[in-house]
Every structure is written in C-alpha cells, then in structure tokens.
A and B are shown apart, each in its own frame.
Chain A
C-alpha cells in the first residue's frame, strides 16, 4: 500500500548522510501511545536499548491513545525548536495523524512505525518500518488454509455449503485501520475458500472486547455450525475461547481458532486451544524503527520498494545503506508446537514478546 516515491522535499532538505550508523549522541524524538499496554512497554524499551547501542539519545512522549493529545504534543515539541536527527512516529490514529506528520516532516525526517502510512501521509513520511498488518492478515490466511488441508486429510467434514468451512471473523474495532488491512489481506489470501458467516468488530482491542463480541455472535451461528474463527489478535482470541467454551464448543477441536498478532496471554496458544498466531514482536519492531532511522541518517537516502526482513537466528549487522520506503518485520506462524523452540535474533519467544 505504500508508495515507492522518494521522500518529499522536507527529507531532501536534510541533505547528505553522516556516513555512519553511530548517532554521536543525536536525538531521536519518539511519539507513541501509552505504555500502559505491554506491547508498547516492550517496544519502548527496545527503542531505548537499540538507541543506546547505536549511540543515540531518545526522548519518548506518550499519549493516552488519543490523536488529539498527540497532535498537541507534536505542537508543543515543535514550539521548543529542539533539533532531532529523526522523529519516530507511532500515530495514535494513523488516519487522523497526517497533519501532525506533515508538520513534523518540516523539522526532521519522520520514520513511522506500527501503523501503516496512509496514502495522504506518504509524502511526509520518510520511511516506514515495523509491523505489516497486510503481512499478518496474509499469514493468518495461509495458516487457515493449511489448517483446513490438515483437517480435511484427517477426514473432518465442514459445515458450509459445498463442504466449505464456515468462518466467523472477530475483527479489530470498527474504523481501526489495522483491522481493515488484516480483514482485507485475509480475504485476499483465501479467495473463495471459506463461507464467511459474519465479520464482527470488537468494542475494544483486547480479550474483554473479544469476549463481548464473540459471546453474542457465536450463539447466532450455532445452528449453522462454526468451523473456523479468525480473530485479529491472540489477545482478542482469548476472549473468543471463553465465548466458544460457554457455548459448548471446544476450541482446537470443534472450532479452529486462527489469529493474528501473538499478543496477550499465551496460555490458550500453548495449550492448543488457539490453533495459530503470527509473531509480532515489539522487541523487533522497536529495534527496527531505530535501525531504519539510523540508516537514513547515515545515508540521507531511501531506496524505493518494500522489504520484509528474514527470521534469522542472529541479529543482522546494521549496514550503512539506504533503508527501503517500507521495511516490514517477519510474521512467522506461532503454534503450540513451535513456540517453545523459537529462536530469532537469539531471542526465545518469550523474549521476543518482551517478557
């Protein structure tokens, strides 16, 4: 979804690169939502660690998941006239953050993370790095297809018309862009494979919300038979597990639960009630955004095109080369079987999840 256009005028005005990934103590200004959520807490810690390793100073300003507040904070910072080598921006609401990003881009290169760059904002954002909601949706789709194949081989019959599996999707909150991407990518990865019964948004993006939505949707389709539930995150799926069980369905047996992000409590994933999740590591995302910034500062350039980084066992050396317009983190599948043996960048699954 991101354009391959070279960064706009603001970034060019920062001229040539420093030629080194060593920050020399320069400032990275970070705007992101509240670390009262464990994912953000881990990402924030990882940003600090990586910045320290690359000899950058970081200053993080948190908002309470409120774009208005973030807009204010951006204004305030701009008013101080403080210079930063780059701004790392996690918009509280990407679709509503364009104006702040535009204003920031006049002051320093903006590296956006976590929320995909909107087409409108693309001319103000120097580079994106971090999670790919499209990648997650795609991976979840692939996982779902694989699960169906496996079950078919075991002789399981599905409830939908023509033997297609019946699917209920519990998606992120209505209007939440990450949810739109995950919904769309999943559909594109599974063309015509499923009989989609309903796509129900959660009131909040957590287990509570998952339970609230699922507990009312599931009874409605009990009669038709539900084969697969696709929940946008593991955390949301934890609520779905409860709702399934309360309706007498055994997740993992009667119903296959395919999920996106590997957030939240892992008990259900480890016990197999949740069939699979996709890795979204705050540690990698935090490190990645700092690295992207460092690369840009070093080269003063961006190469057009997207790249998804590999799931390598060791953390790759940071080279002085221009970052891509978008650098996506890996989204490998996480299951009951493989989560114990994870080893990416020398980190176990728990470590990757910031524990």
Chain B
C-alpha cells in the first residue's frame, strides 16, 4: 500500500471519462460551423455560392483579427477590452493620415500598428500593475474617442490621392488580402500562443496568477505582452478597415466592441482566463457572421436577425458551459 506501485495504479485506475463528450467539447465549434454550413447550403439557395462565402469571409476578417488578438488578453485572465471601437478607429485614422503624408500605405500600416502597440503597452502597464482591465480599457476608450473626435473635428479622414485601397482589394484567387491576413493572423497567433515562451506564460498567468508569480512568471511583463498582441491586431484591423473604404471617421465602428466580445465568448474562451485559443475566437467570429448572412439571405428583417443571433449566442454559451462542466467532472 505504501509503494510507488499503488500510485501508478492510482493514475491508471482513473478512467478517462467521457471521451466522446470531450471530443465534442473540444471540437464543438468546428462541428457546429460545419453543421451550420451544410444545413444552410441545403436550405438556402444562394448560400453556397463562391461570392457569398467570400462575402462572409470578408465580413469576418476584421472582427476576426481583433477577436483573435484580444484572445491573448482574455486568456491572460484580464477579461476583455471595452475600448475596441475607438482604438480601431484611431488606428485607421493614423493609417490614412500617415499614408497620405508619406505616400505609402505600408508606412501607414506601420504607423497604425506602432500607435496601437504603444497604446497597448500603456494599458498593459496599468493593468499589469494590478488595476482592473475592464475599467482601464473603458476609460482609455472614452478618452481616445474624445481625442479623435476633437482632432478630426468630425470630418471624414482620407489618404488624399494616395492609393491605400490595394491593401484591402489586392486579391489572389479572387479572395482579397484581408481574408488572407485574417487566416495568417489566426495561424500565427495560434502558433505563438502554443509554441512560444510568452504565449505559454500568458496561458499560465490566466490559469493561476499566484502560482505563476511563484514560478517566476512576471504578471506585469506577461500582461504587457498580451496587450502588445492586442495592439498589433487593432493596428492591422484598423488599417485594413480604413483601406477597405479609403476613409474613416470618429463615429465609425460603433458596434465593433460588442461584436468582438461576442466572438471571443462564443468561441468558448473562458472569461476567467487560462483557457481558450485564438482559433476558437476566429471560428466564433465566423459563426456569428455566417448566421447573420443566412438570416439576410432568408430575408429576415433586422429585428429577427438581432433576436436570433442573441438567442443563438445564449444557447451556444450555455451549451459550451455545460459541455465543459461534464467533461471536466
């Protein structure tokens, strides 16, 4: 009874419970997405056309990029940002202004990312010091919105005669660049969270802050890294959004913050931190856009669309929650 054998037995004797449940749980989203796509392809005549799928992808890409990059913040146990919309608008405006000045969209992109990352670092410093992330990002978001509105006087900002549109229109196999960037972004984010020290530390910090500190993982530095990742996503998304329409104004993107948060939560990343993945957030964003698209194709009016999306989000988060509980019991 006192030997190591009993401990080994202890390990092996515990059955790996509910492997089917676990499979469904860990693949809920892909399975669900596949189901939704197949069902819609059958029931909705115009759904499975190339142009429509492309439209879904294009409409997902910007929300998706932000959702993917915000996942780092959520995983690190810092909930989410409530300042997404105004930060993205700022990035877009910086992109247009700098592109207009320098004549190069790439310079604009660089500047947008640089500004977003700087703001990310500032917020990361505040949050890393122990201040509440929800309040911090809410406050910073309001300040950014006010400053942008003052600086632009409400005018539409453009890049003048400089061609910034190629960033959003350049395409390969008739799929435009933002979609590739979204896919690439998701892949890179997945790789970074799984295979780099920082990605791993972000996970561990969210899983248990106290243990992380005792294991020599700095909560401050790790939080700042999560916010840097977020800043990169915002910068890229803002630039793509601005280049898509060659313009941006302070009031743009009003519903973006909620869209992104919904995507991350529908993706199943735990609000308490430590669990989740950028791929899931990307799929979450895709699912929400696809549902909206299907309802549009069925000619449902706006009220029904909002109502059903809300209903599906509720059902989905409840289902994910119950599955998680069952599989970890």
Contacts and interface: CB of A to CB of B under 8 A. Distances in A.
A242 B252 contact: no
11 contacts: A36-B149, A37-B251, A208-B245, A216-B52, A216-B56, A219-B51, A220-B52, A239-B245, A242-B168, A265-B158, A267-B246
A264 interface: yes
Interface in B146-162: 149, 153-156, 158
Interface stretch (B265-273, B294-302, B310-318): B294-302
Nearest to B59: A215
Interface in B19-64: 46, 49, 51-52, 54-56, 58-59
A265 B169 CA distance: 18
Contacts of A106: none
Chain B interface bracket (under 10, 10 to 19, 20 to 34, 35 or more) = 35 or more
Nearest to A41: B154
Contact of A216 (B55, B241, B245): B55
Contact of B155 (A34, A41, A201, A248): A41
A211 B154 contact: no
Interface residues of A, number: 36
B297 to A, nearest CB: 6
Interface in A187-214: 200-201, 203-204, 206-208, 211-212
Contact of B49 (A211, A215, A219): A219
Given A41-B154, A208-B253, A265-B247, A216 B176 contact: no
B153 A265 contact: no
A247 B51 CA distance: 7
B237 interface: no
Given A215-B55, A246-B176, A40 B46 contact: no
Interface of A: 34-38, 40-41, 174, 200-201, 203-204, 206-208, 211-212, 215-220, 222-223, 235, 238-239, 242, 245-248, 264-265, 267
A38 B250 CA distance: 10
A263 to B, nearest CB: 9
Contacts of A35: 153-154
Nearest to B178: A246
Contacts of B301: 174
Contact of B154 (A36, A204, A238, A242): A36
B136 to A, nearest CB: 22
Interface string B159-182: 000000100110000101000000
Nearest to A264: B156
Contact of B244 (A211, A223, A265): A211
Contacts of B308: none
B156 A265 contact: yes
Contact of A220 (B46, B153, B249): B46
B293 interface: yes
B245 A248 contact: no
B253 A41 contact: no
B245 A238 contact: yes
Contacts of B58: 215, 246
Contact of A238 (B149, B169, B247): B247
A242 B155 contact: no
Interface string B249-280: 11111110000000000000000000000000
Nearest to B44: A220
Nearest to B160: A267
Nearest to B175: A246
Contacts of A207: 245, 247, 252
A112 B251 CA distance: 24
A261 to B, nearest CB: 13
Contacts of B246: 238, 265, 267
